[in-house]
Structure 1
Amino acid sequence: MEFLYEYGLFFAKTITFVLAIIAIVAVIASSAIKQGTKKGELEITDLSEHFDDVEHEVMQHLLTKEQIKQKEKEEKKQAKETAKADKKSVKSGEVEQETRVFVLDFKGSIDAKEVFSLREEITAVLAVATPKDEVFVRLESGGGMVHGYGLASSQLDRIRQHNIPLTVSVDKVAASGGYMMACVANKIISAPFAIVGSIGVIAQVPNFNKLLKKNDIDYEQFTAGEFKRTVTMFGENTDKGREKFNEELEETHQLFKGFVSDHRPSLEIGKVATGEHWFGIKAKELGLVDDIQTSDDYLQLANKSNKVISIKYVVKKGLAEKFSKAASMSVDRIFSNLWQKNRIFPS
């Protein structure tokens, strides 16, 4: 009886806490929905300043006090000369704008939902960039849905249409839809062991029809149009439906190959559009990329003669959303604490 009493008390406490948390989460979630569409904001980071700070910090540890003083004098002198030259240029009306490298990051998911931020970032860049500038995209994606990556590729193509040089860097992977994006660039660089290519199309559909039949479960599907549904997960697939589905895959593959060929006409498309992927070194031999280099090396070198600026569009979470997430995570903790406090062992 004592065991049942303690167990019942523990169970009642647990249920009370869980219901209370669920109620709070529900209220907050409802409040978050009522807030409507969330707006993001641009985060602009001066990477040139970051590179300079790193260099300065390292030099502070390598040089003697006398050498540091001498270097600081030289830097002050250089800064004065630069300011004087800039002042003179302003007076004469011959101001030459410093060239800039705008850095964007795209780490793509299956549905390429990151294109929402990408379009905002590109719109911001196009508002200020000139053909003397450059856009540098650090791309990482194993591909995904055709329409999502098709839109992402079109966003990058906006840069090309404005005659602004576009460079794409692949440090880890740009396969399938990822390579569809990369091929839009004027130049593609890749790390030696980055995965590149996979110019192909794949679709996988599980079918549970035999399992349903075994358990005497009927599945009915109603469509208007012969090929409204070609293959299905629960119905019995037909040879005609499979054939039509394969035709659609082949048509998508032909569009993919045509897109890549248009942007990189020097490629032997029949050789590289087999669905295979290659490491960066082999990809360069095949013409899929132009140079073997990491994004870090490229940007550090670009910083010597350009202003390097990172632009990122971020949708900040509202207070209600943050609290909702925190409350949800707390449910497990509360349950765990209650169990540790009131744990019952059978005697």
Structure 2
Amino acid sequence: MEFLTDYAGFMLKLISIGVFIVVVMALVASGKRKDKPGSLSIIKLNENYDAMKADLESQLLDKKDLKNKEKEKKKQEKLDKKAQKKKSGKDTEEKIKKRLYVLDFDGDIKASAVDSMREEITAILSIAQPHDEVVVRLESGGGMVHGYGLAASQLQRVREANIPLTICVDKVAASGGYMMACVADKIIAAPFAILGSIGVVAQVPNVHRLLDKSLIDVELHTAGKYKRTLTMLGKNTDEGREKFKQDLEDTHGLFKRFVSGQRPQLDIESIATGDTWYGSEALDNKLVDAVMTSDAYLVSNLADKDVVQVAYKQPKKMAERLGLSVLSAFEHKALAWMSKLTQSRGF
């Protein structure tokens, strides 16, 4: 028994050393290897829709109906070909090349999805033409100012290239999410989607009194009068609170000017209160241009446009390559929690 115990201990040490060597070698190899670029995924939604329709028909229709359906389809295809021949070559070419590019943006507090969206937009703009269209299915309740400011700027690239931009909101586009949406030529929202929240919020927990009771001193040294206005640990002053509030007001003013510049038809003072509206109410307040789901809008374009979904997949980080996905997920959660405790202003 003592021999088996010693042997098991020896094997455990051996395995531990082996795992350590493998991890070190992986880290070294990862350091030497150049980061691989991400990959672009293209899905032709027209083909997906046709495949689902054909599958459903094959399950529900009998053989006679399927045969008649196939005959009608072939007959229609012949008629379409004849109609195309009658048109000029230019008109035919323009019809074939019309495309609708679909992007998805699922926003978190840091607007992390902007890293993929910027690549997707760059790829689309390399071939898109003014008669094409970009549709972004947007879902976000807002977050940090700088993150959503960058995301809105990426969407402005589409407008500046004279490519029509449509934003579809099925669930929520509030605060920073709406700042992104307002850049579009056209905003479409589902009936119960939540939009608006044109305001700025920040909260800073303070545990100074608890530390003071525990005889714990916190020293904060800054160079610059307003380098730090409110803190979590130190004693906050009325002057610091006033400056912090003024910063929020300045950011809110910037937010309002941006939205009104993109959608001048809005009564910005009446809607920039931080309030939200459902899709049908948002239409009455001119926050959106139509009430419809993104699915209905895309299906309505399938007949005369090539509808393609574009998605950029970010390259895996070193932690993910080494199988430390759980640690990476914990890191993201910790960063999200910490960001809520800081005094960073957010939409």
TM-score by length of 1: 0.82
- 1:34-87 Cα offsets, whole Å, 9 max, x none, are 545441111010001111111111222332212212222333344455567768
Query: How do 1:194-273 residues align onto structure 2 when only pairs under 5 Å count?
Result: 194-273=193-272
Shift of 1:319: 8.9
* Unpaired stretches in structure 2, ≥5 consecutive residues: 1-6, 329-347
Greater mean deviation of Cα atoms: 158-167 or 93-102:
93-102
| Distance (whole Å) between structure 1 residues aligned to residue 194 and residue 278 of structure 2 | 5
Q: Does 1:71 align with 2:69?
A: yes
Give 1:280's aligned amino acid: G
- 1:213-266 Cα offsets, whole Å, 9 max, x none, are 222222111111111111111111111111111111100000000111011111
Give SS of 2:135's match. Answer: strand
Give SS of 1:171's match. Answer: strand
**Change in 2 beyond 3 A, CA 1:49/1:269:** same
| Distance (whole Å) between structure 2 residues aligned to residue 236 and residue 96 of structure 1 | 67
CA contact (8 A) 1:25 1:328 kept: no
CA contact (8 A) 1:143 1:177 kept: yes
| Distance (whole Å) between structure 1 residues aligned to residue 14 and residue 287 of structure 2 | 60
Give SS of 1:44's match. Answer: strand
For the pair shown, the structure with the greater C-alpha radius of gyration is 1
CA contact (8 A) 2:110 2:144 kept: yes
**Change in 2 beyond 3 A, CA 1:209/1:17:** farther
* Unpaired stretches in structure 1, ≥5 consecutive residues: 1-8, 330-347
**Change in 2 beyond 3 A, CA 1:30/1:180:** farther
CA contact (8 A) 1:205 1:233 kept: yes
| Distance (whole Å) between structure 2 residues aligned to residue 327 and residue 30 of structure 1 | 22
| Distance (whole Å) between structure 1 residues aligned to residue 326 and residue 144 of structure 2 | 33
- Please report the RMSD computed on the Cα atoms of aligned residues, expressed in angstroms: 3.2
TM-score by length of 2: 0.82
Q: What count of residue pairs does the alignment treat as equivalent? A: 325
Hey, what does 1:342 align to over in structure 2?
A: none
| Distance (whole Å) between structure 1 residues aligned to residue 100 and residue 131 of structure 2 | 9
Q: Does 1:151 align with 2:150?
A: yes
**Change in 2 beyond 3 A, CA 1:220/1:46:** same
| Distance (whole Å) between structure 1 residues aligned to residue 89 and residue 270 of structure 2 | 58
Identity across aligned pairs (percent)?
51
- 1:67-118 Cα offsets, whole Å, 9 max, x none, are 2122223333444555677688797896334321110000011111211111
Shift of 1:287: 1.4
Shift of 1:288: 1.1
| Distance (whole Å) between structure 2 residues aligned to residue 193 and residue 243 of structure 1 | 38
Give 2:107's aligned amino acid: G
- 1:274-309 Cα offsets, whole Å, 9 max, x none, are 111222222222111121111111111111221111
| Distance (whole Å) between structure 2 residues aligned to residue 39 and residue 320 of structure 1 | 17
CA contact (8 A) 1:25 1:327 kept: no
**Change in 2 beyond 3 A, CA 1:10/1:200:** farther
| Distance (whole Å) between structure 2 residues aligned to residue 29 and residue 294 of structure 1 | 47
Shift of 1:152: 0.5
